[in-house]
């Protein structure tokens, strides 16, 4: 099963996938990807190119996750009047 999941990640490898992985805060963890990468060589016998590609995907997702957490920290101190409100302009100016 792990072999099939790794194939999916490798075939779908892109910035979009890395962002989607990072945004899934409930299930994304670097430790899980590291464990899978270790199993790729020891159990599954995958090539070093596959392993490096998989690790690079995990690293990109990690960087995006760190960036997202930093943005969350930046907005943690926003005033209450700006939190959770959708502001719509009733009569927008047309140019």
pLDDT in tens, the chain (95 residues): 888 988 999 999 999 999 999 988 788 888 988 999 988 888 888 889 999 999 999 999 999 999 888 877 666 666 666 666 555 556 667 66
Helix (H) or strand (E) holding 22: helix 15-23
pTM score over 0.85 = no
pLDDT number for residue 11 = 92
Q: Could you give phi then psi for residue 3, rounded to 5 degrees?
A: -60, -40
The Cα–Cα gap between 33 and 60 comes to: 12
Tokens representing residue 36 in the block: 């899978």
């Amino acid at each position: 099963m792990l072999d099939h999941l790794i194939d999916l990640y490798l075939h779908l490898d892109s910035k979009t996938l890395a962002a989607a992985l990072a945004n899934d805060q409930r299930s994304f963890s670097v430790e899980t990807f590291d464990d899978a990468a270790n199993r790729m060589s020891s159990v599954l016998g995958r090539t070093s190119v596959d392993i490096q590609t998989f690790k690079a995907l995990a690293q990109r997702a990690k960087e995006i996750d760190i960036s997202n957490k930093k943005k969350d920290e930046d907005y943690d101190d926003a005033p209450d009047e700006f939190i959770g409100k959708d502001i719509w302009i009733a009569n927008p100016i047309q140019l």
